[in-house]
């Protein structure tokens, strides 16, 4: 049986409380269970027991060398339902000085950010299957800067993304 979806991710962080505050403010996660040195968070609207686990390893922890000097995870990607939500998160990540990039991958509109420990994550909106035209597919040959206003004009601010792609129709 193939894997169906990612149930949760677990990150090692320097300071659990600082990371909890960040993920709550940036992405709206809520703590569903906590203990000294650990917290389990759930995304708004999620039915998972938890979507993100955080384990504290202390202020002495060095930066991740993943992708530079060691193997390791590059980033996690969370999907949002609408371009309006992607725009709201872009504003919030900018306010938190966490946004490090925004890319148009043609079929995926993506924000890239770093948490307080420098761990990168992506927040994306996926073009619904019925809106993927040959022109959209042609655009996959390159990555362009993301213009959310233009994408909202093209697809609609409230169009539910991922239908027929990550969400069955």
How much is the pLDDT for 81?
95
Q: For the segment 112-169, what is each residue's pLDDT rounded down to a tens digit?
A: 999 999 999 999 999 999 999 999 998 888 999 999 999 999 999 999 999 999 888 8
Domain at 1-58: CATH code: 3.10.180.10
CA-CA-CA-CA torsion for 61, 65, 66, 67, nearest 10 degrees?
A: 160
**Predicted pLDDT of residue 133:** 93
Mean pLDDT, all residues of the chain: 95
Query: CATH assignment of 74-169, given 3.40.50.10860, 3.30.1300.10, 3.30.720.110, 3.40.710.10?
Result: 3.30.720.110
Question: 11, 115, 120: which is closest to 56 by C-alpha?
Answer: 11
pLDDT digits (tens, 9 = 90+) for 63-95: 999 999 999 999 999 999 999 999 999 999 999
CB 87 within 8 A of CB 148: yes
Q: What local confidence, expressed as pLDDT, does residue 2 receive?
A: 79
- Tell me the pLDDT tens digit for each residue of 98-115: 999 999 999 999 999 999
Residue 1: the pLDDT is 66
Per-domain residue ranges of the chain: 1-58, 74-169
């Amino acid at each position: 049986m193939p894997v169906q979806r990612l149930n949760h991710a677990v990150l090692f962080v320097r300071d659990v409380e600082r990371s909890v505050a960040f993920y709550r403010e940036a992405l709206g996660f809520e703590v569903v269970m906590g203990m000294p040195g650990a917290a389990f968070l759930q995304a708004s609207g999620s039915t998972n027991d938890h979507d993100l686990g955080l384990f504290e390893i202390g202020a002495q922890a060095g930066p991740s060398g993943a992708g530079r000097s060691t193997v390791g995870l590059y980033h996690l990607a969370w999907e949002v339902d609408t371009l309006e939500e992607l725009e709201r998160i872009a504003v919030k990540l900018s306010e938190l000085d966490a946004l490090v990039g925004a890319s148009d991958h043609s079929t995926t509109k993506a924000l890239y950010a770093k948490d307080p420990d420098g761990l990168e994550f992506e927040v994306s909106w996926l073009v619904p299957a019925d809106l993927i035209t040959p022109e959209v597919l042609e655009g996959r040959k390159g990555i362009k800067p993301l213009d959310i206003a233009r994408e909202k004009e093209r697809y609609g601010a409230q169009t539910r993304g991922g239908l027929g792609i990550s969400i069955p129709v």
